Amino acid sequence: MPESIAFVGVGRMGANMARRLKDCGYAVTAVYDVHAPSAAGLAQEIGARHARTLAEVTAAADVIFTVVTDDAAQLGVFAREGDSLLTGATGKVFVNCATITPATHVEVEKRARAAGAVSLEGCMASSIPQARNGTLYLMCGGDRSTFERVKPILEKLSTALRYIGSTGQAAQVKALVNMVMNINTAALAEGLGLGAALGLDLPMLREVFLQTGANSQVLKTDGEDMQNRDHACFFSAAHAAKDSTIAWVLGVQSGLNLPLAGATKQQYDRMVALGLGELDKSGIAELTFKGRRA
C-alpha cells in the first residue's frame, strides 16, 4: 500500500506538488499552511484534511513534505517545544524542499533523528509548472536508505532525480545553481539594457545571443519578459536575494572572493529595498534599462 503523504507549506510550489501526487494516486491526507485559507482551499480541492496544527500533520501521514520560505520557518516547524512536526514523529519521513542554508538542513536532520524520525533534503531547481506536471529537477541529500524509501514518490514529482550525498550537500549544490542562475539573469538584464540604450533592435539582439556564447537558459525564460516588462512571478526577486546571500556566505566561509555573486546579491537586495521583491527575478531589468528605475 502506498505511503500516505502530507504537506506543510502549500503556496504555489507545495500546492502543485500535492496536486500532482494526488493525481498519481497517492493519499494526500493533510495540508497545513500559516496562511490558513491556502490550506483550507487546497484541502477542499484534493480531499485532504486541513490540519490546524503541525502535530496533526505528523499524525496524519507517513511522509511529510515541507515547502517553507526560509531558515526561520524551517526551524519553526521542527521546533523543540510547542506545536511541532516532531510531536509523535517516530518512524516518520520528512522531505524538506525549501531553499535554505545547508546548516539548517543538518540541524533539522539532527532534531528529526532525536525524535525517532528521518529527514531528506529535496532541493528543487524548477518552477511552478514543473511542480504541477511532475517534471521537477530534484536534488536529494541525506541517508541513502531514506532516499531509496521515498524514491517512488519522488519519481512522480521529478523527471530528473539525483541523489547528491550527505545532508547539506544538496543544499550546497542548489545554492550554486541559483547563484549562477542569478548572475546570468543580472548579466542578461545589463546586456539587454545596454542594447536598448544603444538603440538596437532587442528581438534581433536576443536572437544573436541565442546563437552565440551569450546564450543561456535564462535568456530563454526571461529575455522577452525583460524586454516587455512582464515580470509575473515564477521565482521572486526576494527569493533571488535570499538565495544569492546563501551562496555568497558559503563563499565567505570557504575563504573565497566571489565578486559577481556579491554584485548580484546587491542588485537583488536593492530590488527588495525598492519594494520590487515580489516581481519575478526578471524584474532586475527594471534596474538596468534606461528610463525605468534608477
pLDDT interval class at 293 (50, 70, 90): confident
pLDDT interval class at 2 (50, 70, 90): confident
CA torsion, points 73, 234, 20, 109, in degrees to nearest 10?
-30
Residue 152: how many other CB atoms lie within 10 Å: 12
Within a domain: residue 294? no
Within a domain: residue 279? yes
- Does residue 216 share a domain with residue 128? no
- Does residue 193 share a domain with residue 147? no
- Condensed to tens digits (0 to 9), the pLDDT of residues 111-145 reads 999 999 999 999 998 888 999 999 999 999 999 99
Of the residues 116, 143, 166, which one is the last residue of a structural domain? 166
- Does residue 110 share a domain with residue 250? no
- Does residue 158 share a domain with residue 62? yes
How far apart, in Å, do the first and last CA atoms of the chain sit? 58
Number of compact structural domains in the chain:
2
pLDDT interval class at 1 (50, 70, 90): low
- Does residue 159 share a domain with residue 186? no
Kind plus residue range of the DSSP H or E element containing 205: helix 202-210
Residue located via cell numbers 546571500: 245
Within a domain: residue 292? no
Mean pLDDT of all residues belonging to the chain: 96
Within a domain: residue 258? yes
Q: What percent of the chain has pLDDT over 70?
A: 99
Q: Look at residue 95 and tell me whether its pLDDT is greater than 90.
A: yes
Average pLDDT of 168-196? 97
What is the domain range of residue 153?
5-166
- Does residue 159 share a domain with residue 177? no
- Does residue 258 share a domain with residue 193? yes
Q: Look at residue 41 and tell me whether its pLDDT is greater than 70.
A: yes
Angle at 89 between CA 70 and CA 61, to 5 degrees: 85
pLDDT interval class at 284 (50, 70, 90): very high
Within a domain: residue 293? no
- Condensed to tens digits (0 to 9), the pLDDT of residues 207-253 reads 999 999 999 999 999 999 999 999 999 899 999 999 999 999 999 99
- What the block records as the C-alpha cell of 92 is 516518520
What pLDDT is stored for residue 127 in this prediction?
83
H-type alpha helices, 117-201: 128-133, 144-157, 169-197
Q: Look at residue 164 and tell me whether its pLDDT is greater than 60.
A: yes
Within a domain: residue 179? yes
Amino acid residing at 225: D
Within a domain: residue 75? yes
Of the residues 149, 166, 183, which one is the last residue of a structural domain? 166
Within a domain: residue 40? yes
Burial label, 40 (beta-carbon count in 10 A; 0-12, 13-18, 19+): middle
What pLDDT is stored for residue 91 in this prediction?
97
What's the order of all strands across the beta sheet hosting 63-66? 49-50, 28-32, 5-8, 63-66, 93-96, 118-124, 136-142, 158-165
* CATH code: domain of residue 122: 3.40.50.720
pLDDT interval class at 13 (50, 70, 90): very high
- Does residue 77 share a domain with residue 179? no
Kind plus residue range of the DSSP H or E element containing 269: helix 259-273
Contact 28, 18 (CB under 8 A): yes
Of the residues 151, 166, 181, which one is the last residue of a structural domain? 166
Q: What percent of the chain has pLDDT over 90?
A: 95
Residue located via cell numbers 572572493: 257
- Does residue 205 share a domain with residue 143? no
* CATH code: domain of residue 198: 1.10.1040.10
- Does residue 134 share a domain with residue 33? yes
- Does residue 149 share a domain with residue 97? yes
Residue located via cell numbers 516588462: 229
- Does residue 158 share a domain with residue 192? no
Dist. CA 142–CA 259, nearest whole Å = 31
For residue 2, give the DSSP letter.
Answer: P
Name the pTM for this structure: 0.90
What pLDDT is stored for residue 200 in this prediction?
98
- Condensed to tens digits (0 to 9), the pLDDT of residues 57-83 reads 999 999 999 999 999 999 999 999 999
